Structure 1
Amino acid sequence: MTAFDDLMAFQRETSALGQIAGRLGWDQETVMPRGAAPQRAEEMAAIEAVLHARRSDPRVADWLKQAQPQDEAGQAQLREIRRSYERTVKVPADLAKAIARVTSAAQGTWAQARADEDVAAFLPVLQEVVALKREEGAALAQGGDIFDAMVEDYEPYTTGTQIAEIFDQMRPRLVALRAAVLDKLGPAPLSGIYDEQAQMRLSRKLAATFGYDFNTGRVDKAVHPFSSGSGLDVRITTRTSETDPFNCFYSTIHEVGHAAYEQGINPAYALTPLGQGVSMGVHESQSRIYENQLGRSRAFTGWLYGQMTETFGDFGIADAGAFYATVNGVHNGYVRTEADEVQYNLHIMLRFDLERALMEGDLQVSDLEAAWNDRFNADFGYAVDKPSNGCLQDVHWSVGLFGYFPTYSLGNVYAGCLYQALRAAVAGLDAQLAAGDTSGATGWLRENVQQYGGLYTPRDVIRRASGREPGPEPLLDYLESKFGELYSL
């Protein structure tokens, strides 16, 4: 065997162990008994120690020096293995293990504090998480910007400064559109009670409609919807509310976008660095285009209106046109995952600025709740009513995902570029969606984005698929056109 073959064999074993760690995380958020949390923290720490040792194994450096890949995919494998190795060796093994242990325990503490509306119960463990992640960031940055080092985990080859510049371009048009829309009388939200088992049945039908392969996946319920796994085991979760079925349906479609990306990657890349989505921004481009540009389109909501009528009977909305307006209604609200397209990115910008300040030491954990509430009031014009609608609403910081939040808005930016190209390429798209047929759109995304996995860098993926340099203009044009028509602006 050549050095390249030895490296790839070693890498596949490491990736397989990483998948096992991911399955432990899935279990913890879905079916694990609550009392198992302390033991699970030790299990996660143990497997992280094994993974860290493998990812920093000196043989990897030797193989990287000697390997001679024969094609583009092989070169990309080395690029990603080298990037991962160079980052891993900067982080002490004991620190990686400590982060895994604390974040596993913190997740359960967060969930209980959220249920109890008790910020004080969460802050001590969050303080530990932030301290450990800042230590990790300093090790990775080696004198550079700590938050840039955090972002690199989720959006390679991108910096916090670059993201801030994109957000600065977006904010004025988003704020102006939000003000113009909220100045109009919008549709009333849904009312009534919707059976949660019926929601789950329709949720699974929606997953299949968007191409989710149940032969290699499953749908479960969790506090916070997520997608987990790659290759031949890609699982999603959703959540239900008896008064808000849209939360269930659009969470499901969103997570199917993530899962379809993983299921659509070239099988030859399985259990290698190329066998997973190239970045969380590109990942989010898939989930957001599935959820919004496709799932909330006038054409598709016409089909969904029929499905809801079959499932729930008369639910108080007169016709498909009124249903489209309700699905896309712009209303004041606290929760990011329930936010409309107009306001969603403003929720992300709030989190981006706060977590950047936490990582750079400009904001203390003890001041986080007040900082969140003050910023929310300034951005949205009303006060946070309870912690679960404020700084306790998201799981991300409890599990150490600092640098993750901005990728949600990057995903929206990328989705805007992709949708512009998709509409030009897929003839009869609206007629297909009106019939509940997403295959034209999802097939284009699989062919132009998903199949490549990590073969190309994030911006290259979007550039190749859309034919343009990634930027916010297509997204902002789409939002202004859609909501300008909806609200007669």
Structure 2
Amino acid sequence: MTAYEDLMAHERRTGALASVAGRLGWDQETVMPRGAAEQRAEEMAAMEAMLHARRTDPRIGGWLDKIDESALDVVGQANLRHIKHHYERACRVPEELATALARVTSRAQGQWAEAREAEDVAAFLPVLEEIVALKREQGAALADGGDAYDALIDDYEPDMPAADLQAMFDAMRPRLVALRAAALEKPAPAALKGDFDEQGQMRLARQLAKTFGYDMARGRLDKSVHPFTSGGGTDVRITTRTSPSDPFNCFYSTIHEVGHGCYEQNIDADYAFTPLGSGVSMGVHESQSRIYENQLGRSRAFTGWLYGEMTESFGDLGLGGADAFYGAVNRLHNGYIRTEADEVQYNLHIMLRFDLERQLIGGDLAVRDLEEAWNARFAADFGFAVDKPSNGLLQDVHWSAGLFGYFPTYSLGNVYAGCLHAALRRDVTDLDELLAKGETEPATTWLMEKVQRHGGLYRPREVITMACGMEPEAGPLLDYLEEKFGALYGL
């Protein structure tokens, strides 16, 4: 077992260093001075060079050759599966390429934020061209003769090629489009209006985080341009954002990120700094954030409780009661922003991005033509024109961070969440009574036991299948949406 012990000691040290690099990223997006961007880019590049060297260390291959996999328990075998996969992928990417990507994406995120604020696409396109060129190179290296975009997806969702995602999206689209069209023909519930103190929003956001089980002793909630989660184990940090006219943006972004944060906080502590010590895939990760945010947080039962909390914090909301508040939380509405989209239209935003980034990586779409392609596709899909870049191409941080292949996992996470929600309601029969009192613990404990504590022990589809007692598929999500919005809109 010496070879396995040596391998795991190496992995734990690499995991600890990766955690330090992640903390640099969190700092960059929250409190780092703007003037430090170039220095931080060099720091991130240096960290990536060190990590790449450790991930491609020839000793890993030697240790792997010496290990008798049959002598390992299930945890050891799972560790070995991940290490082999990551080692083979890391060895295909030259250090110079890995370092260049770390440097340019660190610099690009600040440039994206400035371009977004200035509504200036032209200021962002040069650095995006650099990123796309490097990601094409990385994808080709990882694919080793296969499809470059499939190879990039594998970083976020192993064993899920683009063709399978395309088939899933093609099957989902007709029912989503039909439900949207039917609902938008009906009178919409009243929207929440008013001016909501941003400090008050953050106070309630912290309360919501604790309500959903986020451990503030091992985490923190801050503000950023784009909400995100960073870290793992005993240091898991989340961010949100505020808008005086739209407190739901703050509250549901917070609940979404809490889903991610709780997944990381609830993984078996014995897996810390090993390949099993983080979420197994972004699709599974998104299943946690989306079920917290939507099936639990936007349910009629929970919004009844939230209505009372908001009234206590902000006074009369002008909606006339909890039922109207539920309608305001869940109203279908034409909008530009993915993170603010209702549950019915959200996946259409993802399909747009999925198609565009496939074209970018495949070389069928030039970066200089991306804004025009985005705006044309948005108008075709949603029926109205993009009014400004921050509502279009510049709204998401992902491409500036080099996260090509990430977007489809949001919809995959919705599909997984639909399956988990059906199983949760089967097992926790008094779920609505509990949520109506703001009691989420039975639901979050179920998710912790069924999904979160396992970390990377099982394969993505395997952990969902075990939790639900069925292979994941889109039917439960679509049935849930049709039932919920059919009742809300009288369809």
Selected match of 1:123 from 125, 137, 162: 125
1:157-180 CA distances to partner (integer Å, 9 max, x unpaired)? Answer: 110111111001100000000100
Corresponding residue number in structure 2 for 1:12 = 12
1:100-179 mapped onto 2 (5 Å cutoff):
100-179=102-181
2:28 equivalent in structure 1: 28
Q: Distance in 1 between matches of 2:428 and 2:73?
A: 31
Worse overlay, 412-421 or 65-74: 65-74
Residue identity matched to 1:237: T
Aligned residue among 178, 186, 196 for 2:198? 196
**Is residue 59 from structure 1 mapped to residue 59 from structure 2 by the alignment?**
yes
- 2:397 corresponds, among 358, 371, 395, to 395
Give distance in 2, aligned partners of 1:391 and 1:347.
12
Look up the match of 2:2.
2
Deviations 1:244-295 (A, max 9, x none): 0000000000000000000110011011000000000000000000000000
- What is the rounded CA distance, in whole Å, between the counterparts of 1:157 and 1:80 in structure 2? 13
Question: Secondary structure, in 3 states, of the residue corresponding to 2:429?
Answer: coil
Q: Verify: 1:417 aligned to 2:419, yes or no.
A: yes
SS at match of 2:192: coil
Residue from 429, 432, 456 that aligns with 1:430: 432
Match of 1:363 among 338, 362, 365: 365
Residues 64-97 of structure 1 deviation map (CA, whole Å, 9 limit, x = unaligned): 1112352101000000011100000000000000
How far does residue 63 in structure 1 lie from its aligned partner after superposition? 0.9
SS at 1:395 equivalent: coil
CA distance in 2 between counterparts of 1:330 and 1:404 reads 25
Residue identity in the other structure for 1:378: A
Give, in angstroms, the shift of residue 427 of structure 1.
Answer: 2.4
Q: Structure 1 runs of 4+ off > 6 angstroms?
A: none
Q: Look up the match of 2:95.
A: 93
Q: Which amino acid aligns with 1:310?
A: E
Asked if 1:80 is matched to 2:78, the reply is no
Segments of 5+ residues of structure 1 without an aligned counterpart are none
The answer to whether structure 1 residue 351 and structure 2 residue 353 are counterparts is yes
Asked if residue 465 in structure 1 is aligned to residue 442 in structure 2, the reply is no
Look up the SS of the partner of 1:218 in the other structure.
Answer: strand
Secondary structure class of the residue paired with 2:295? helix
> C-alpha separation between the residues in 1 aligned to 2:150 and 2:239?
30
Shift of 1:193: 0.3
Q: Is 1:325 aligned with 2:327?
A: yes
Distance 1:238 1:422 in 2: 27
* 1:46 partnered with 2:28: no
Matched position secondary structure for 1:275: coil
Matches within 5 A, 1:148-297: 148-297=150-299
Letter in 2 for 1:196: E
Residues paired across the two proteins, number: 489
- The match for 1:479 is 481
- Give the equivalent residue in structure 2 for 1:407: 409
Deviation at 1:458, TM superposition (A): 0.3
Over aligned residues, Cα RMSD in angstroms?
0.6
Shift of 1:142: 1.2
CA distance in 2, matches of 1:377, 1:158: 29
Paired position in structure 2 for 1:374: 376
Distance 1:419 1:379 in 2: 28
Amino acid at match of 1:372: W
How far apart are residue 35 of structure 1 and its match?
0.2
Please give the alpha-carbon distance, in whole angstroms, between the structure 2 residues aligned to 1:314 and 1:188: 15
CA distance in 2, matches of 1:86, 1:158: 18
Equivalent pairs: percent with the same residue? Answer: 71
For 1:485 and 1:394, the matched residues in 2 are separated by: 32
Q: Which amino acid aligns with 1:67?
A: I
* In 2, Cα distance between equivalents of 1:174 and 1:395: 26
How far apart in 2 are the matches of 1:70 and 1:115? Answer: 53
Indicate yes or no: 2:311 matched with 1:309: yes
Letter in 1 for 2:341: A
Amino acid at match of 1:359: I
For residues 108 and 52 of structure 1, the distance between their equivalents in structure 2, rounded to whole angstroms, comes to 24
Q: What is the CA–CA distance in structure 2 between the aligned matches of 1:62 and 1:185, rounded to whole Å?
A: 66
Letter matched to residue 17 of structure 1:
L
Instruction: Give the letter aligned to residue 393 of structure 2.
Output: C
What residue ranges of structure 2 are gaps of 5+ in the alignment? Answer: none
- TM norm structure 1: 0.99
Task: Measure, in 2, the Cα distance between the counterparts of 1:364 and 1:165.
Answer: 25
Q: 2: CA distance between counterparts of 1:103 and 1:477?
A: 39
Shift of 1:227: 0.5
The 2-side partners of 1:427 and 1:176 are apart by 31
The alignment's TM-score, normalised by the length of structure 2, stands at 0.99
- Contact 2:190/2:319, CA 8 A, preserved across alignment: no
Whether the aligned pair in 1 keeps the contact of 2:190 and 2:324 (CA below 8 Å) is: no
